[in-house]
Amino acid sequence: MLATSNPVDVHVGNRIRLRRTLLGMSQERLGTALGLTFQQVQKYERGRNRVGASRLYDLAHVLGVPVAFFFEGLSEHDAPAPEAGNVAGMAEPDESLPDDSVPQCTAPSVQPDDLALFSRRETIELVRAYYGIEDSGTRRRVLDLVRSMSAS
């Protein structure tokens, strides 16, 4: 029986692939930097293998991003929350505390279509070329031109 990947593992894998490709790094080069084979990197990127905490830390270091980068855009609906009684080692919630006593932190949500768009080679090449323009005024004019040509 083929097990399905956890949505969080798939999201983290997509973020690894996004950052790696934005850097122009091959799976083999990333694997070498981490002491892995490119097949292991491929399994992480597809969400087939779960990335452990120490490996995530190493990935963040090699890819030049904070660990939180891998979770950006992850919404609450992407992963089922464990039931309160089934979390080993966790205390029961304190009913005496009001719900608003704990600050809520929400990250901006990235839609799956957006993530696919950001992962396309054409998008990555466009972003690299754009930031390859050294003059900020010229970059601004290119952005204005592209905006004026777009349908939106």
Domain match, 124 and 74 both: no
Rg (CA), the chain: 20
Distance CA 70, CA 15 (A): 5
pTM of the model: 0.60
Domain match, 2 and 75 both: yes
Domain match, 141 and 67 both: no
Residue-number span of the structural domain to which 142 is assigned:
120-152
Domains of the chain: total: 2
Domain match, 125 and 67 both: no
Domain match, 74 and 2 both: yes
75-116 per-position pLDDT tens digit = 765 555 655 555 555 555 555 445 554 444 444 455 556 666
108-149 per-position pLDDT tens digit = 455 556 666 776 778 888 888 888 889 989 989 998 998 899
Q: State the helix-helix crossing angle for 136-149 and 121-131, rounded to 10 degrees.
A: 140
Handedness of CA 78, 107, 9, 12 (dihedral sign): positive
26-66 per-position pLDDT tens digit = 999 999 999 999 999 999 999 999 999 999 999 999 999 99
